[in-house]
Structure 1
């Protein structure tokens, strides 16, 4: 992962392969993360592409205050929220909101090959969107609470509380489906 900063620097210096390598590394995971925000995989893929277009055209400065992945996912999250604002669909994580459980696409199936991860992913999609986002970033993108806090624009303590509540909710959801959740 330390190569990402070097890849981005190469891109900024004129080597387009640097950006291509970054896109290859992050496009699938970013699409799935963005899907947790917009709840539409096609739209998530469009926003993922917009994120990389923004990177290519605007060439924002990476200052190294966090990991490159955290910085990149924060840009993607901001693009998703901007899109939702433009569409006037921003109902930030309302508990009253009816959540539609999307059908798992072939891209998601390929990314989540192991059956256990697939079932975990399905159970997570039935959770509150904040819970889903924090668990996805933690378990599928392997980010720590400080990185997640930066991406979600929350305090570290808020993320820790979210993780606790999300795990508890996930445990209940998995047990309801007959699975034993051992990591809790």
Structure 2
């Protein structure tokens, strides 16, 4: 049983510190992952909080087929997709909100991506297909297995392997185009 699952089981048994540990372990990474969907750090924070609330309310939905982290990210992704569906019906955004969103996003990226190499790779990630972005993020940044990433993205393992391969090729092409190539890709 992974740390997340043991903390969650403690929470289910009435130990509130188990939930606190889960939030400490996964909140920042979940926010960053969700921000990739909604492109708004404030909304991503709200969606992460909603995700933690949802796992508190729907306690019996966690099945230990995959890790707790995989399940948490899947719930978060579903919340982000639901949010985007609702937002697609209403598209009006005041210009001040757009400015604030851009400032929030820049501040988050400056904190997370401190050196130039990480910034270039991060920028290159935004230039490739979103399915590629998700696969790369989950497998390489969140250290999920192909099987776990497949659950989160609702794909099979072979598709995730193909997506990560193609994503690496696409990243390599973008980085070569910018005269920045890392042999790891």
TM range (shorter): 0.7 to 0.9
Cα distance in 2 for residues equivalent to 1:70 and 1:169: 25
Measured after TM superposition, the shift of residue 114 of structure 1 is 4.5
Asked if 2 retains the 8 angstrom alpha-carbon contact of 1:70 and 1:150, the reply is yes
Asked if 2 retains the 8 angstrom alpha-carbon contact of 1:28 and 1:111, the reply is no
SS in 2 for 1:105: helix
Asked if 2 retains the 8 angstrom alpha-carbon contact of 1:127 and 1:169, the reply is yes
Q: Which structure shows the bigger proportion of residues in helix conformation?
A: 2
Asked if 2 retains the 8 angstrom alpha-carbon contact of 1:127 and 1:170, the reply is yes
Q: Normalising by structure 2, report the TM-score.
A: 0.84
Measured after TM superposition, the shift of residue 72 of structure 1 is 0.8
Corresponding residue for 2:180?
179
Corresponding residue for 2:5?
5
Aligned residues: 172
Cα distance in 1 for residues equivalent to 2:147 and 2:28: 23
Cα distance in 2 for residues equivalent to 1:157 and 1:150: 12
Cα distance in 2 for residues equivalent to 1:113 and 1:62: 36
Corresponding residue for 1:85?
85
Asked if 2 retains the 8 angstrom alpha-carbon contact of 1:37 and 1:133, the reply is no
Q: Quick check: 1:62 aligned with 2:62?
A: yes
Alignment root-mean-square deviation, CA: 1.9
Deviation readout 1:41-69 (Å, 9 max, x if unpaired): 22212111110111122324322100111
SS in 1 for 2:182: coil
Cα distance in 1 for residues equivalent to 2:27 and 2:151: 20
Corresponding residue for 1:95?
none
Q: Quick check: 1:19 aligned with 2:6?
A: no
Deviation readout 1:62-105 (Å, 9 max, x if unpaired): 2210011111111111111121222336xxxxxxxxxxxx6643
Within a 5 Å distance, the mapping from 1:164-175 to structure 2 comes to: 164-175=165-176
Corresponding residue for 1:132?
133
Residues 142 and 115 from structure 1, CA distance in 2 versus in 1: closer, same or farther, beyond 3 angstroms?
farther
> Radius of gyration: which is bigger?
2
Corresponding residue for 2:94?
none
Gaps of 5+ in 2: 90-101
